[in-house]
Amino acid sequence: MLAAFSAVCLSLGLCLAAPQGNLADPPQGLTIVVVDVGQGDGIVVRAPDGTVHVVDAGPEGEGTLAMLPAIGALQPSGYGYSVVSHFHVDHMGGMDEVRSALPFQLALDRGDVNRPANSSMTGYLNAAGAQRQTIVVGRVYQLGGGAVMRCVCANGEVDGGAFVNPANSSQEENSRSIGLRIDYGDFSMFLAGDLTGGGGSTADVESSAVLACGDVDVYKLSHHGSTTSTNLNLMAALQPELAVVSCGVGNSYGHPSPTIVNRVNQALAARALLSTTRGSANTIGFGVTGDVRVDTDGRRYRATAHNGDFLDFFCDEVIPSPMAAGDVRISEVQRNPAAVADTNGEYVEVVNIGEMPVALAGLRLGDDGGTITLASNFMLVPGRPMLFQVDGAAARNGGQPLGMALPYNTLSLGDSSDVVTLQQGAVLVDSLGYASGFPGGSGVAAERRDLLGPELATNYQAATTAYGAGDLGSPGQRCPNDQTVHPVQCGVTVRPDRFTLHGTALDHAWHFSVFALSNSAVTGFPFGGAWIPVDPDALLSSALSVAGFVDLVPPLGYRSLDVMLPQPNPLTGVTLHVAHVVLDINLNAPGVSPARAIVLP
């Protein structure tokens, strides 16, 4: 049977899923961009087959200034739907510019019930022409490449039969907004224009709509974070891991409202909340990004800011594996910034030093003053630092890169003493206790020397590198004086259709990385001055001839590789073995991991 497996693997070229081969790279498939159109909404959707669709296009002028460049950057292979969520100028004003410039097909909107009359409406109607259609509640629209869009609600009518009369609202047009659910694999997103949820004497269409929508990964805040929307029922039904809000800097409406920000991102359910601008005032609790680009392969997704900073997530169907003590370490703490106030500039940096990515949903971060529990299912790959920051606006926090903006007033690090903890369930993953005399201080972060070493003060040092507005530290980067000697590691995850090999070599960037895959690990063999703990059989030879099994260690020090299995799999229950081998240019082996067993599903 083992010989048969080797033959199957060789004949199928091990079925490598190269486009999704490295979890440290951006996922490929569906892309959704929430464009910074100022005080308004404009969303671009690129389906996996390259077809581009738009949902709203911002105020007049933003179709040309913001939407068209965002569409062009996605290199469309075709143009599909344009959707106007409702007939307010900050959502539809730029749509005629988009449709006049590009050959979009059907123009979907809510129809002619109580349709307003103004120049923006006239411009849109002229640009839509004969392609205009009224969207159908409950209909599933094919976006291309397996991505779909379902109309959850429009004009107060909700998929499943519920109806909430928009006319009984102080904001009828907003209440008539179209609600859409976009799906691709396990990924899902809900966006609903300015749909109302009962705040400010508006009609509560949200509560029925979100029941019809169900749990999602990403939620685009309705009405730019106004208190008219995003009610408690919505949060309970959608349970998003990432929320995105589009609003204008310095807007006069108070968007996003502190009430809504604190509802979305709270201590018991801390969620990533990203805003295209810093909004109307100094509300904190969210990251500021400019355009927000979300890329997904249907199992994981990445949210990328305009400057290239990003956060990685698993879809919420991916259940976090329990973490062991020490898998994630506290690597740096800025407890007393000098360039900005403590309430804006404090941060805690953590890094995954394990053998494979970890999912952070349920992780608790605490200090002597409080604790937050992550509702966001962040994906943290080995070697990549992540910031937990009290303020996510770089203009206010001293110039930190994008991280997880903590809920308002939940973490306040003591200048002279505190105990910072990371905990998952009953497992204390890591902790840092400090007192007077601990390295760092006013404007100077404390950096951990050895991530594998103890939390003693002697294992920390005062930062010496300036960032942003001039404080010292290395937020979001490997500490320049990190003295950790990391082992070469290998991990394996198994799914019904594949197994994934994880190779971590944090001290060996640009060396050769080899996944040595074998039928057995009985005797092993010597190579490059080291002992390779798997047997040199036919499967090993076959695997090494397939692209991806030998590659360079990326600068981060981590890579992964998907190996697809034939379906149905004729070798269910067979056990294979793999080791991660690092080689230098002379084919010496400075690092080899222990062998890991793989039981085929």
- The CA distances from residue 309 to 63, 334, 419, in Å, are 25, 20, 29
Distance separating alpha carbons of residues 365 and 380, to the nearest angstrom: 15
Q: What is the mean pLDDT of residues 313-340?
A: 92
64 DSSP assignment:
I
Which one, of 470, 451, 475, 457, lies nearest residue 333 by Cα?
Answer: 475
Beta carbons of 390 and 367 less than 8 angstroms apart? no
The first and second tokens of residue 105, run together, are 């097909």
Q: What is the pLDDT of residues 193-218, one digit of tens each?
A: 999 999 999 999 999 999 999 999 99
pLDDT band at 64 (very low <50, low <70, confident <90, very high): very high
Residue 294 confidence (pLDDT) above 50: yes
- At which residue do the structure tokens 């062009």 appear? 72
| Residue 548, token pair as written in the block | 């991806």
- Which domains, from first to last, does the chain contain? 2-17+485-599 (2.60.40.10), 29-296 (3.60.15.10), 323-462 (2.60.40.1260)
- What is the pLDDT averaged over residues 352-358? 94
Query: Residue 485 above 80 pLDDT?
Result: yes
Tokens 């249907």 belong to which residue?
A: 298
- Which residue is associated with the tokens 């890329």? 295
* Residues β-bridged to residue 580: 515
Average pLDDT estimate for 545-558: 92
* Tens digit of each residue's pLDDT (9 = 90 or more) over 298-325: 999 999 999 999 999 999 988 777 889 9
Residue 16 in this model has a pLDDT that exceeds 60: no
pLDDT value of position 73: 98
pLDDT digits (tens, 9 = 90+) for 78-96: 999 999 999 999 999 999 9
- pLDDT of 11 reads 43
For the chain, the distance separating the N- and C-terminal CA atoms, rounded to the nearest angstrom, is 15
Q: What is the pLDDT at residue 1?
A: 46
Dihedral angle, C-alpha 414, 415, 418, 419, nearest 10 °:
100
3-state secondary structure at position 293: strand
CB neighbour burial string for 574-601, b if at least 16 within 10 angstroms, e if fewer: eebbbbbbbbeeeeebbbbbebbebeee
* Residue 391: how many other CB atoms lie within 10 Å: 29
SS3 of residue 274 by DSSP: strand
Element (H, E) at 490: strand 489-495
Residue with token string 């990326």:
554
What is the mean predicted confidence (pLDDT) over 407-436?
Answer: 95
pLDDT tier at 7, thresholds 50, 70, 90? low
Q: Residue 488: pLDDT above 80?
A: yes
Q: Report pLDDT digits (tens) over 562-588.
A: 988 888 888 899 999 999 999 999 999
Q: Which whole number is the average pLDDT over 491-501?
A: 93
pLDDT over 50 at 17, yes or no: no
**Which percentage of the chain shows pLDDT scores above 70?**
96
Q: How far apart are CA 149 and CA 44, in angstroms?
A: 13
pLDDT value at residue 13:
44
Average pLDDT over residues 371-380: 96
pLDDT computed for residue 317 by the predictor:
87
Instruction: Enumerate the β-bridge partners of residue 86.
Output: none
pLDDT at 15 > cutoff 60:
no
pLDDT, residue 21, reads: 64
Average pLDDT on 490-506 reads 94
When computed from its CA atoms, the radius of gyration of the chain, rounded to whole angstroms, is: 26
Q: How far apart are CA 332 and CA 349, in angstroms?
A: 5
**pLDDT tops 70 at residue 2:** no
Q: What percent of the chain has pLDDT over 90?
A: 89
Q: What integer best gives the mean pLDDT of the chain?
A: 94
591 within 8 A of 506, measured Cβ to Cβ: no
Q: How far is CA 153 from CA 149, 175, 303, in A?
A: 12, 10, 26
CA atoms within 13 A on the CB side of 321: 14
Question: Beta strand 218-220 with 187-191: parallel, antiparallel or unpaired?
Answer: parallel
